[in-house]
Amino acid sequence: MSEKTKSGLAVLLLMRFITGLAVAFILMLAGALLTASGILPDSMITVIPPAAGFVSALFCGRGAARIIGARALLTGFIAGVAFYFALFFLGAVFYLRWAPGAGTVSMLLCCLIGGILGGLLTHRKPQVRSRAAR
């Protein structure tokens, strides 16, 4: 694989990752607005971030497995871990402190499961060629 192809794959992965972060932000913003307007109960505020992390990691894992094309489970797992650490890092930067809690573990699990599921949903089984009639 040439350097140009490798850099193109890296750019595609980075774009998919940034799009996943944008999806997470939009889902969390929509959940916060629905909770603030009273459409959703206040207890949903603890469910929305892990759910947004799951959907976004699913998106990232699916994109990464589609771009790389091999080892869908491992690719999805790595995408989920990377997505969790990106969300964790952004949270630490915006809040200027690290605040572990019950949401940290649920967010990790949701990102891992979403990334793995996204990778597995993309995995394609090899097509079996049928023999032509002789």
Question: What's the pLDDT tens digit per position in 49-69?
Answer: 888 889 988 888 888 888 887
Residue 102 scores a pLDDT above 80: no
State the average pLDDT for the chain: 80
> Cα–chain-centroid distance for residue 127?
28
Reading the block at residue 102, the tokens are 């019950």
Q: CA-to-CA distance for 55 and 37, rounded, in angstroms? A: 23
**Phi-psi category of residue 38: left, alpha or beta, with phi > 0 → left and psi -120 to 50 → alpha:** left
Average pLDDT over residues 80-109: 78
pTM of the model: 0.77
Please report which confidence band the pLDDT of residue 75 belongs to, taking 50, 70 and 90 as the band edges: confident
Residue spans of the domains in the chain: they are: 3-122
HSE, side-chain direction, 13 A CA sphere, residue 68: 24
Q: Nearest to residue 84, comparing CAs of 62, 112, 59? A: 112
Q: Are 80 and 61 in contact (CB under 8 A)?
A: yes
